[in-house]
Structure 1
Amino acid sequence: MTLALPFLSTVVINKLTLGTLLLCVLVFSLPAISAERNLEKNDAISIKADQLLVQEKQGISRYQGNVEVQQGALQLAGDQIEITHPNNQLQKIEISGNPATFERIDPQTKTLTKGQAKTIRYVSKTDTLTFIGDAQVAEDGKHKISGAKLVYDLQQQTLQAESDAQNKERVEVILIPNTQTP
């Protein structure tokens, strides 16, 4: 994707790399994630914000003020999103807000997955998503996981939930029983 800004030189963000990240945000729908990542990564990415600051030499793009990101069935929102992309290679994306949120509707099952935290961070090198501060992820009708910090390793497909240092915000898992009859 190329952004042409009259007051800056042309900024290039690798669409496939950014798209892959955005698809990874909702990997909590584990069974279908591989197929869905391939289906959605070619969808257009829409980013809306009140302000945009691009520091091309530093490889940083900062969107501020009521930031909304949409790609396919995925929606992200926050007060600020900072994308670190030195030499046009995605390094890190950090979404902050009160709270930063995401929503995704699984195109096959129509299941809604929602999540939120004060900060949501993706690190490309480790292929991890970290939800920090009042973190929670819920899959409609199945479960809700919350804690001070949730770390999801996309390669290993593992989730680690942590309480805060003072144990004021303990890890909580709520499993919702299936009420449908066979």
Structure 2
Amino acid sequence: MKINIIPAVALLLCSLSVQANQPDYTQQIQIDADNLSSVKENVLTYRNNVVVTQGSLQLKADQLEINATAGKGNEVYIATGNPVTYSQLLADGQQVTAQAKEMRYEPSNRTLTFSGEAELAQSGSVVKASTIRYNVEKQELSAESNESKRVTTIFTPEEKNNP
């Protein structure tokens, strides 16, 4: 029996490209850590070398608390560290990175909130503030600071190619 493998390979490649183009927020969340404990019902605490991955989104922290008391799909992830780091590859190929003392992730509304010496970098530009809110779906950002600090944005000009 002769099997034509070309259509099967083409189908496989198409399914992989569809999966690769799925937004990160639609993919499963994986958590790796040295320790896990359940403090109370519907609250999990991960400690030491915590790594959270969702598609290309990656978060690293010293501790992560997941509060699921509001029910499935409404979990709140609160990561703390010195600092907590975040990185994500956007659909257009750009890399977004951030760091702060605390990061709150709410998958239900696709919002990340960075607090405490927060800094977010994208496309060569950097925003520094006390608090930065970032919507991973809409790629919208807002920043605010307290009385002692101001919001700082640094834009890096494009380099021109000289002929």
TM (norm. structure 2) is: 0.71
Q: Could you give the per-residue CA deviations for residues 119-165 of structure 1, whole angstroms, max 9, x where no partner exists?
A: 01134676643211000100142x11011111346788653322223
- Secondary structure (helix, strand or coil) at the match of 1:88 reads coil
Give the corresponding residue for 2:13. Answer: none
* Closer, same or farther: CA 41–92 of 1 in aligned 2, 3 Å: closer
**Which of the two has higher C-alpha Rg?**
2
- Secondary structure (helix, strand or coil) at the match of 2:157 reads coil
CA RMSD of aligned residues (A): 2.9
Give the corresponding residue for 1:48. Answer: 32
Give the corresponding residue for 2:144. Answer: 162
Q: What's the CA shift for 1:47? A: 1.5
Residues 65 and 79 of structure 2 are in contact (CA less than 8 Å); yes or no, is this contact kept in structure 1? Answer: yes
Does residue 74 in structure 1 map to residue 18 in structure 2?
no
**Matches of 1:159 and 1:40, distance apart in 2:** 18
Quote the sequence identity (%): 33
**Matches of 1:128 and 1:103, distance apart in 2:** 14
**Matches of 2:133 and 2:65, distance apart in 1:** 19
Any gaps of 5 or more consecutive residues in structure 1? Answer: 1-35
**Matches of 1:121 and 1:81, distance apart in 2:** 10
Q: What's the CA shift for 1:105? A: 2.1
Does residue 171 in structure 1 map to residue 154 in structure 2?
no
Read off the aligned partner of 1:64 and give its amino acid letter: R
Give the corresponding residue for 2:120. Answer: 137
Does residue 63 in structure 1 map to residue 46 in structure 2?
yes
**Matches of 2:96 and 2:110, distance apart in 1:** 20
Q: What's the CA shift for 1:64? A: 0.6
Residues 75 and 104 of structure 1 are in contact (CA less than 8 Å); yes or no, is this contact kept in structure 2? Answer: yes
Which aligned runs of 4 or more in structure 1 are off by greater than 6 angstroms? 154-157
Q: What's the CA shift for 1:112? A: 1.7
Aligned length: 142
